[in-house]
Amino acid sequence: AQSVSQHNHHVILSEAASLELGCNYSYGGTVNLFWYVQYPGQHLQLLLKYFSGDPLVKGIKGFEAEFIKSKFSFNLRKPSVQWSDTAEYFCAVERGFYGGATNKLIFGTGTLLAVQP
Amino acid sequence: EAGVAQSPRYKIIEKRQSVAFWCNPISGHATLYWYQQILGQGPKLLIQFQNNGVVDDSQLPKDRFSAERLKGVDSTLKIQPAKLEDSAVYLCASSLAAGGPGYAGELFFGEGSRLTVL
C-alpha cells in the first residue's frame, strides 16, 4: 500500500538554525507532492507543492523542498528558522491526475517543530 | 474569501452515543473531503465527494460512519454508535474539481471538529 514516512516526529531548534525535515513515499508511479503546515490553533494550509518541472520548489515564508525521484523523497528545508515557524508539518502525496482519478492525498504522520527564541 | 466552515468545534460524548458534524466548503468547490486525524497521526481520508456523488469511501467504517452531501454543497458526517477509538479531530476540506479549470491540487481545510468519546 502507498505510504508516506516522516522520520522526524519532534524537532527542536534555536532561531536562525537551519531546518531539514525528511519525507519519503512508497508509490512508484507519478505523484504530486505537498507540504502542509498547521500553526498552533489554526487550520492546515498549503506550504508548497511539486507537480512537475524543476525539482526544487519554493513555497511561502522562505521554505523550499527538493524532489529526488530516485530516492522517493521530498524533503523540506529552510536556511534560517524563526520562532513563528513553530508548527506541525505534514508531507502529503497525491496519486493520479485529471479526469476521474481519485486524487486523494495520503499524509505522513507529521513533524512537530518547536523553535526556541 | 470565506474559508471552510465546520461545526461543532468540540464535542464530548459517551460511547455508543451518536454525533454529527457539519461542513460548508468554499463556494464553488466541487470536491469535498472528510479526514480523520487521530492524535499523533496524519490525517486519514474517510470519504471524498465530487459534487453530490461519492468518489472514494474505501476507508470509511460503514457500519458506524455515514456521510452525505445531498445538494452538492454542504455535508454532514455522522457516527452511530461511537466507539472510544473514534476520538479524533474530523477535518473537512474542499478543492476545485480535479482536472477542472483552475485545479491546482490544493486542499483548503477547515479548523476541524474535535471529538472525545468517553
pLDDT digits (tens, 9 = 90+) for B60-101: 999 999 999 988 899 999 999 999 999 999 999 999 876 666
Q: How many CB pairs under 8 A join A and B?
A: 62
Find chain B residues with C-beta within 8 A of A49's C-beta.
104-106
Convert the pLDDT of each residue in A78-111 to its tens digit. Answer: 999 999 999 999 999 987 654 434 567 889 999 9
Q: With an 8 Å Cβ cutoff, are B42 and A49 in contact? A: no
Integer angstrom CA distances of residue B18 from A69, A79, A84, B58, B91:
45, 48, 39, 22, 18
Answer yes or no: is pLDDT of B2 > 90. no
Q: What is residue B70's predicted lDDT score, i.e. its pLDDT? A: 82
Q: What is residue B99's predicted lDDT score, i.e. its pLDDT? A: 65
Tell me the HSE value of A93 on the side-chain side, using a 13 A CA sphere.
24
Q: What is residue A7's predicted lDDT score, i.e. its pLDDT? A: 87
Q: What is residue A101's predicted lDDT score, i.e. its pLDDT? A: 42
Q: What is residue A20's predicted lDDT score, i.e. its pLDDT? A: 97
Higher pLDDT, B80 or B1: B80
Q: Which helix (H) or strand (E) holds A87?
A: strand A87-95
A43-71: average pLDDT: 93
Is B49 in CB contact (< 8 Å) with chain A? no
Nearest CA in chain B to A50: B105
At A28, the pLDDT band (50, 70, 90 cuts) reads confident
Find chain A residues with C-beta within 8 A of B55's C-beta.
102
Q: What is the C-alpha R_g of chain B?
A: 14
Distance CA B112, CA B89 (A): 6
A67-75: average pLDDT: 94
The three three-digit cell numbers of residue B28, written as one number: 464553488
Give the residue from B88, B112, B46 showing the smallest Cα distance to A105: B46
Find chain A residues with C-beta within 8 A of B40's C-beta.
109
Is residue A29 within 8 Å of A8, Cβ to Cβ? no
Q: Give the gap in angstroms from C-alpha B10 to the nearest C-alpha of chain A.
A: 13
Interface of B with A in 9-48 (CB under 8 A): 31, 33, 40-45, 48
% chain A with pLDDT above 90: 73
Q: Which of B33, B99, B111 sits opposite A43 (nearest CB)?
A: B111
Q: Give the gap in angstroms from C-alpha A97 to the nearest C-alpha of chain B.
A: 7
Interface residues of A toward B, Cβ cutoff 8 Å, are 4, 6, 32, 34, 42-46, 49, 51, 90, 92, 94, 96-110
Convert the pLDDT of each residue in B14-68 to its tens digit. Answer: 999 999 999 999 998 989 999 999 998 999 999 999 888 998 899 999 999 999 9
Q: What is residue A88's predicted lDDT score, i.e. its pLDDT? A: 96
Q: With an 8 Å Cβ cutoff, are A104 and B44 in contact? A: no
Q: What is residue A98's predicted lDDT score, i.e. its pLDDT? A: 47
At B1, the pLDDT band (50, 70, 90 cuts) reads low
Residue from B109, B111, B114 to probe the interface with A (highest A Cβ count within 10 Å)? B109
